[in-house]
Amino acid sequence: MTETASTPEVSLRHPGGELPLRTVPATEGASGLDVSKLMATTGQVALDVGFVNTASCTSAITYIDGDAGVLRYRGYPIDQLAGKASFLEVTYLLIHGELPTADQLAAFDDNLRRHTLLHEDLKQFFQGFPRDAHPMPVLSSAVSALSTFYQDSLDPFDPRHVEISTVRLLAKLPTIAAYAYKKSVGQPFLYPDNSLGLVENFLRMTFGFPAEPYEVDPDLAAALDMLFVLHADHEQNCSTSTVRLVGSSHANLFASVSAGINALFGPLHGGANQSVLEMLEAIQRDGGDIGRFVARVKDKEPGVKLMGFGHRVYKNYDPRAAIVKQTADTVLDKLGGDNQLLDLARQLEEIALSDDYFVQRKLYPNVDFYTGLIYRAMGFPTRMFTVLFALGRLPGWIAQWREMIEDPTTKIGRPRQVYTGETERAFVPIGER
């Protein structure tokens, strides 16, 4: 592969100063295509596989300094929000740009509590899935189906539609998530109890039974609320970029978020929280030989990666992973979790962080590394972990979709390609091939 053209340095202003964006020079196509000719006809095309170096939008929502391990929502450092601001406050902050006053928060909460019910016909929808359906595709399908129930929620350019679809989605996703769980364990659905807040209601609908009292454990609710805060936004990650890309065609909020949920499902993104626990259990089953597992990772054995490690943006410790790690002990002690598996995770981290392979590549634990251990202690099956991520990430998806829709400079997302296929050739009829 030879470089055939160079592209100029461009830069964007951001709160941390000038952010230089190095564009990747386009390369010659595998079939010998002259990329410079493509450029002559289409203008500048810079090949950037995986968008490693390409900013797709401007945004005022979330700031990350990956080298320093800094994350801020609307300017507030994540460690100042986690454990101090509730998930509902952070949701309001991300979507509306400012922390709510007590009155604003009460009105927001009240509004959400009025929209937690699912239409009875939508409830029937869950019965169409097989008993052992993974709850993630059930979640995305049900969110997509919301478009069929609410005609007054579908116009991205009518502020009333945007507002009501925002409220419906925030209020209903916990109900949908709880029903996806109930379906997978063959238990009856519970109606929401709107005397409860969002997290408490979700826990009751998930773990409670109809006509039986369910006492929400305040420690459990507080821990889950804090984890949701840690997941609430992360600028242009794969699922959020998907939400924006789908929304850039003027698809409605439900359709866009449904696509985002599917992007989150992948094991390289949100699905990693499930894979981490499966990896830890596999190491444990294998006699707990961490050294042997790490050697397989370093040998790049197909399909073997240190799940929950590495990040496109963080080249330092993920600040969220640091918070989860710090609190994991306390939470597991309170909830009676598996400390052996936590010890294994800690040892694995220690071994990796003192190994040149991981040090040179700047691979640190990401947000998915320790969260599953806490979810497990809370009683969630492994297949629900990514659903919990989706519940936490929802405010970010909504805030980013709304920012995109409100931005007059937004254009339909449509990347170019560098064509590497056959050059023009003459059609050969089937009898002559």
Active site residues: 311, 368
Among 141, 206, 237, 242, binds ligand OAA (CB under 6 A): 237
Q: How far apart are CB 375 and ligand ACO at their closest, in Å?
A: 14
- Tell me the helices (H) and strands (E) count for the chain, helix number first: 18, 5
What is the spatial distance between Cα 26 and Cα 113, in angstroms, rounded to a whole number?
Answer: 52
Site membership for ligand OAA, residue 250 (CB under 6 A)? no
Burial class of residue 313 (count of CB atoms within 10 Å of its CB; 0-12, 13-18, 19+): middle
Tell me whether residue 38 or residue 226 sits nearer to ligand OAA (CB atom): 226
**Which does residue 308 touch among ligand ACO, ligand OAA, none (CB within 5 to 8 A, set by kind)?**
ligand ACO
Q: Nearest-CA neighbor of 313 among 240, 245, 382? A: 240
Residue with tokens 């599917």: 262
**Residues in 63-82 that interact with ligand ACO by CB under 6 A:** none
**Which does residue 313 touch among ligand ACO, ligand OAA, none (CB within 5 to 8 A, set by kind)?**
ligand OAA
Residue with tokens 């094991």: 267
Site membership for ligand ACO, residue 269 (CB under 6 A)? yes
Contact 90, 108 (CB under 8 A): no
Site membership for ligand ACO, residue 272 (CB under 6 A)? yes
Q: Nearest-CA neighbor of 393 among 283, 275, 276, 262? A: 262
**Residues in 296-355 that interact with ligand OAA by CB under 6 A:** 311-313
Among 294, 297, 321, 342, binds ligand ACO (CB under 6 A): 297
What residue type is 96 in one-letter code?
H
Cα three-residue angle 379-261-167, rounded to 5 degrees: 90
For ligand OAA, which residue has the nearest CB?
237
What DSSP character marks residue 51?
G
Q: How far apart are CB 313 and ligand OAA at their closest, in Å?
A: 6
**Residues in 175-234 that interact with ligand ACO by CB under 6 A:** none
Give one DSSP letter per residue of 285-338, joined into a string.
HTTS-HHHHHHHHHTT-TT---TTB--SS-SS--HHHHHHHHHHHHHHHHHT--
Q: Select the span of 7-15, 200-208, 358-366, 418-426 touching ligand ACO (CB under 6 A).
A: 358-366
Tell me whether residue 40 or residue 268 sits nearer to ligand OAA (CB atom): 268
**Residues in 303-342 that interact with ligand ACO by CB under 6 A:** 305-312
Binding site for ligand OAA (CB under 6 A): 234, 237, 311-313, 366-367
Binding site for ligand ACO (CB under 6 A): 50, 237, 268-270, 272, 297, 305-312, 361, 363, 366-368
